[in-house]
Amino acid sequence: MQDLTFETLIAVFEEIFGTALFWLMVVAAVAITAGYLYVLIRDREMSMRKFLLAQLSMPVGALVAVLIVMLATHSHLRDIGGPIDVVVLLGVAALGAVGMAILVYTLQSLFWPPSEEPPRS
């Protein structure tokens, strides 16, 4: 690989997803992350109740991410051939898990702010 610069990477991602979809995904990722930071700062605390559901959704996110990558690339778990493949697989799963957790936490916080949470017993 020659000249693997930030600009080249962007160009490659634009080609993979199409310019419009790629930037839409970037905007979505930035919006969700910004929403997450916003609710954290707004609430000044993490709601453990919401965090619990977010955590429970993590395996689902991990599985969905791995399944999407496998389906989109004609791949199967039997194709894991070396340590780097395990790292990539775990990376995909981790990204899916963290992404899902952030999404679930943010959505809960936006729709059910702390004032509407039932009091803790």
Partner 1 sequence: MTTDNYNTSRRAFLGLMAGGAALAASPRPAPAQPIDTRARIVIIGAGAGGTALANRLVRRLDGASITILDPSADHLYQPGLSLVAAGLKPASYVVSGTAEWLPSGVTLIAEAAAAIDPEARTVSTEGGQRLDYDFLVLAPGLVLDHDAIEGFSLDLVGQNGIGALYAGPDYAARTWQAASKFAEEGGVGVFTRPATEMKCAGAPLKHTFLIEDIATRTAGPGKHEMHYAAHDGNLFGVPIVSEKVRMLFQDRGIAAHYSHVLKAVDPGRKIATFATADGTTEMEYDYLHVIPPQRAPEVIRQSGLSWPDKWTDQGWVMADMKTLRHLRHPEIFALGDVAGVPKGKTAASVKWQVPVVEDHLVAAIAGREGTAVYDGYTSCPLITRVGRAMLVEFDYHNNLVPSFPGIIAPLEELWISWLMKEIALKATYNAMLRGKA
Residue 99: CB minimum distance to partner 1, A: 17
Residues that bind partner 1 in the complex, under the rule CB under 8 A: 1-3, 5-8, 11-16, 30, 34, 37-38, 41, 44, 69, 72-76, 78-82, 84-85, 88-89
Q: Which of 111, 107, 106, 113 is nearest to 37 (CA)?
A: 106
User: In the complex with partner 1, which residue's Cβ is closer, 7 or 116?
Assistant: 7
User: In the complex with partner 1, which residue's Cβ is closer, 38 or 46?
Assistant: 38
User: In the complex with partner 1, which residue's Cβ is closer, 23 or 57?
Assistant: 23
Compute φ and ψ for 44, nearest 5 degrees. 60, 15
Compute φ and ψ for 78, nearest 5 degrees. -65, -15
Alpha carbons 102 and 104: distance in angstroms, whole number: 6
